[in-house]
Amino acid sequence: MPIAPLSRRALIAGAALLAAIGGATPAFAQAAAWPAKPLRIIVGFPAGSSPDLTARALADPLEKALGQPVIVDNRAGAGGNIGADAVAKATDGHTIGLMINGNMTIARLLNPAVRYDPLKDLAPVSLVGVAPLVLTAPASAAGGDARAFFDAARAAGDKWSYGSPGVGTVGHIGMELLKSRAGIAPVHVPYPGYPQVFNAMVGGDLQLSMLPPALANTQIKAGKLRGIGVTSSGRSTLVPDLPSLAEAGVKDFNLEIWNAVAAPASMPKAHVEKLAAAVSAIVRAPEMRQRLFQQGWQAVGSSPEGLANRIRSDAQVLGGIIRTQGIKAE
């Protein structure tokens, strides 16, 4: 039986399909061959810091997933911005970074001298972990519950003070955001770090502060501080006994610290997607979820698009406070 000749439409469709396959093949081949040498994770904080511990937790399983050694490279300084700048400017195709939210959102808003643009020079890969801050007060703080505490804070006006580990930190910007949402007016007092903030609270020099969950939990359980609520939109498994600030009547307030993997914006999309798939699978694995939880994080393991959405949202909200208050990093 003779075979009917192909129609012109079928020939055109076939040609288009072959062209599409041909065009996609180099990208797939490129992704399959990557990484071709050891991968370097730059961390903008010293060894033993929270971002460093997260990067090292990822390194071994990432090495197994990608088939190349993964090296953690600490480039500490400027609140992580030195490391982020090194990632942004990397051109070897095998350098990525483990960063905190400030490095990827508001770094340049706080300090125009920062040499990279977080929104243009970095490619989002995956959101690794998130955590709320804990609004804390001295153990003897006024108010029987969170709502009563906020009533007392409103009545005190600027007679109360709050502490943070420095101008432009999330403990500073987050509290300014809370002030705008809750109608309170405590005065900011910056300190060198969270240990000094804690000591000032215990000593009666401060009436409130936002602390990381691990530090807050320890001191609350020891009876040295009182937990008012968590800054996330809902309750957190990291601090299960505390309400969210929304439950205390603070509307439209959601503040979390987070860390994420980012690549230079110049990294090919196929490489970013391959890396994101590997990181996401690693972070979502039960053993890694538990390891991150022990470090004080709720595991996420997002797509690049999910991380990009988070970056845009945080940059808009926190950027608004920075511009309104004229906050500049010291």
Per-residue confidence in pLDDT tens, the chain, 330 aa: 444 444 444 444 344 434 444 455 555 556 778 999 999 999 999 999 999 999 999 999 999 999 999 999 999 999 999 999 999 999 999 999 999 999 999 999 999 999 999 999 999 999 999 999 999 999 999 778 999 999 999 999 999 999 999 999 999 999 999 999 999 999 999 999 999 999 999 999 999 999 999 899 999 999 999 999 999 999 999 999 999 999 999 999 999 999 999 999 999 999 999 999 999 999 999 999 999 999 999 999 999 999 999 999 999 999 999 999 999 987
The number of domains in the chain is 2
Q: Does any domain span residue 118?
A: yes
Residues 146 and 237 reside in one and the same domain: yes
Residues 77 and 41 reside in one and the same domain: yes
- Choose the final residue of a domain: 248, 270, 301: 248
* pLDDT at 67 (0 to 100): 97
- Domain housing 224: 134-248
Residues 73 and 168 reside in one and the same domain: no
* pLDDT at 19 (0 to 100): 45
Residues 231 and 138 reside in one and the same domain: yes
Burial class of residue 190, CB neighbours in 10 A (0-12, 13-18, 19+) = middle
Residues 147 and 126 reside in one and the same domain: no
Q: What is the pTM of this model?
A: 0.86
Q: Does any domain span residue 17?
A: no
Residues 238 and 279 reside in one and the same domain: no
* pLDDT at 29 (0 to 100): 59
Residues 266 and 123 reside in one and the same domain: yes
Q: Does any domain span residue 226?
A: yes
Residues 233 and 308 reside in one and the same domain: no
Residues 263 and 120 reside in one and the same domain: yes
